[in-house]
Amino acid sequence: MTAVHPALRARRRRAALRNLAFLSPWIIGFSVFFCYPLLSTVYFSFMHYDGFNAPVWSGGRNWSYVFTEYPLFWPALRNTLWLVVVMVTLRVVFGLGVGLLVTRIRTGAGFFRTAFYLPYLAPPVAATMAFVFLLNPATGPVNHVLGGIGIPGAGWFTDPHWSKPALTVLAVWGIGDLMVIFMAALLDVPREQYEAAELDGAGAVQRFRHITLPNIRPIVMFAVVTGVIQTMQYYTQPLVAGKVASGIIGNSGQQFEPGYPDRSTLTLPQLVYNLGFQRFDYGSACVVALVLFVLAMAFTALLMRRRNGFLSAED
Amino acid sequence: MTHATLDPGAPDLPGAPSRTASRTGTAAGTRARRAARRRAALEWTAVHSLGIAAAAFFVLPFVFVLLTAVMSDQQALTRSLWPHPFVWSNFRTVWDTPGFLTWWRNTLVYSVVGTVLTVVSSLPVAYALAKFRFRGRNTVMVLVISTMMLPPQVVIIPMYLFWAKQLHLDGTLWPLLVPLAFGDAFSIFLLRQFLLTVPREYTEAARVDGCGELRTLLRVVVPMIRPAIAAVALFQFFACWNDYFGPQIYTSSNPAAWTLSYGLESFKGAHHTNWNLTMAATVLVMAPVIMVFFFAQKAFIEGVTLTGVKG
């Protein structure tokens, strides 16, 4: 025993060094591009800092400013909540619906799957600009077609009551990823269960409720929680939609009051940009960043509690 | 993706009607079989009609964008749907717009270099997390997943101040590229998911043959998970190509460093109401992504499946 010890220790040390070497890109990246900036964010949230003059301690001033005076914070939080409830629900429902449909399509299955999947790949900026055009109340083809069948079109991205539904249509258009995930889950449901249920005389609705749904519940949960996390980060689409629909001259430096029309497309991540990079109030921007951090972490924790599978190492 | 086999309500499953048929007389049997066939035809029609309706929702936006892209200026301002005449030169006009080619090149550099850096730096990390046993491995995994789920806005203020005020590298692609050389959380996660499916026997055998860990990874494991690497590379390529926030923060001060995603919008500004040119530019930005997808469909779909299904 005593004779083996030094050799064993040497081997252990070699293994530890090897682990460290393989992990080093992540360790460096995590420290430099995550830990350090996260701690700095906390630090700056208590500082008054405009990027030019040295940061000055300001206590809870930024915090109280964001929560009680900054006029965009509560609308952004309300919008995010609206989007989380409506957008995530519809995306999951439609994603599952299209997933179910695709598993039943016999003829031209390849065409249908590709057609349902492609919008997911469209670059967000391009897709958003396309939708602002498509849903343009004056010249867009959607209202034209709706008018043709006798439905009065909406103002979409130019109407505060319709801008979030318009964003939701855009989000539902891009459910290709969910379709694929649901499709894979549906194909994993043991076929015998359906056969047994059919012998017992269960109808399609009963089969869905008592066999399909329980089997794919973990995936539905996964889709809901990741959907909520994604919606928390919702940035490019609402920003570009607001800018393009309001007719702001692109990136000319023209000041843009975010959330057009009437703050209806404002989301939390946009506030970080507005406070930090338009108003040079880095301290308050850090407060919003930390609010985002706490919300995102809460849902990530939920996700990992639900799916410890993430950590399973089958070795 | 063999999928056609599972079909819960499919009439070709052994179901009640055919069973009754075998028990009763032939006339009733024929009638039952005919009813089953009619039901099958009805279901086929219903499913495919629904499919066509859904496909219209997903495909028509592309069609309208394409049609508008080849309309004349005046026609794009009206509500007409069909181009008359077809103005194919719109694409040429967009291509020749000052800046467009530069943005295109920047986007390509960001996407290609970023993808290479991501794969090279994420692979060893994912390998260690999938195949080595060590204390704190689960903690690392939790942290990787947490950073994967984090909005990029959370750490952007100090990151921007670091790149712009200390290194004076804003207005270049460096702040976008350098972090990718230190592993990307999503890629690490995805590669690890794939690596878990590689049987331990292979790496063990290589070790017994005296292969070092790095050699094992490069010579034995990498050839086995080539589709996985393709999937990760594609995801990263699309992520860079589509990125708007990063270029907005770091390159906005210098139009020569803009990428397509960021430049596209100002292009719209330069031609305020020219929806035809805007849509032509949109097509040019979407086209490479769609083409890449058609070349590598399988790898991509496998990747999506694995992120959601395999735990």
The predicted pLDDT at position A160 comes to 93
3-class DSSP state of A314: coil
pLDDT tens per residue across span A198-210: 888 888 889 999 9
Residue B127's Cβ-side half-sphere holds a number of Cα atoms within 13 Å equal to 26
Average of pLDDT values for A25-44? 95
For helices A163-173 and A124-134, angle between their N-to-C axes, nearest 10 degrees: 130
Strand partners, A48: A56
Q: Tens of pLDDT along chain B (311 residues)?
A: 333 333 344 444 333 444 444 455 677 788 888 988 998 899 899 999 999 999 999 999 999 999 999 988 888 777 778 888 888 889 998 898 888 999 999 999 999 999 999 999 999 999 999 988 888 899 999 999 889 989 999 999 999 999 999 999 999 999 999 999 999 999 999 999 889 888 888 888 887 887 788 888 888 889 888 888 998 999 999 999 999 999 999 999 899 999 999 988 876 655 566 888 889 999 999 998 888 888 888 777 777 777 765 43
Work out the average pLDDT over A120-145.
91
Distance CA B131, CA B199 (A): 10
Q: Which residue among A123, A134, A307 places its CB closest to the CB of B242?
A: A123
> How many contacts does A have with B, using Cβ atoms within 8 A?
337
A309 — pLDDT class (breaks 50, 70, 90): low
What's the pLDDT at B105? 95
Beta strands in chain A (DSSP E): 47-48, 56-57
Angle at B283 between CA B282 and CA B288, to 5 degrees: 110
Determine the Cα–Cα distance for residues A123 and B286; give it in Å rounded to an integer: 6
A5-14, A236-245, A298-307, range with the lowest pLDDT:
A298-307
The SS3 assignment for A92 reads helix
pLDDT above 70 covers what percent of chain A? Answer: 93
In this prediction, the answer to ipTM > 0.95 reads no
Q: Which of A117-126, A139-148, A156-165, A283-292 has the lowest mean pLDDT?
A: A139-148
Residue of higher predicted confidence among B266 and A21:
A21
- Residue A45's pLDDT is 96
A125 and B261 within 8 Å at the Cβ level: the answer is yes
Mutation choice for B interface testing from A200, A251, A280, A311 by most B CBs within 10 A: A251
Interface test with B, best of A53, A129, A302 (most B CBs within 10 A): A129
- Provide the pLDDT for residue B214: 85
Check if the beta carbon of residue A315 is closer than 8 Å to that of residue B131: yes
Q: Which residue of B has its CA nearest to A53?
A: B165
- What whole-number distance in Å separates Cα of residue A131 and Cα of residue A119? 12
pLDDT in tens, A70-92: 999 999 999 999 999 999 999 99
Answer yes or no: are the C-beta atoms of A124 and A234 closer than 8 Å.
no
pTM for this structure? Answer: 0.89
- Interface contact A133-B275, CB threshold 8 A: yes
* Residue B159 sits at the chain A interface (C-beta within 8 Å): yes
pLDDT score, position A311: 52
Q: How far apart are CA A289 and CA A45, in angstroms?
A: 9
CA–CA min distance B29, chain A (Å): 18
Compare all CA atoms of chain A with the CA of B239 and give the residue at the minimum distance. A123
Taking all residues of chain A, what is their mean pLDDT, rounded to a whole number?
Answer: 90
Q: Measured between beta carbons, which residues in chain B are less than 8 angstroms from residue A277?
A: 160, 249
When mean pLDDT is compared over A32-41, A181-190, B74-83, the highest value belongs to A32-41
Structure confidence by residue, pLDDT tens digits, A46-70? 999 998 899 999 999 999 999 999 9
B186/A106: higher pLDDT: B186
**Rg (Cα) of chain B, in Å, rounded?**
27
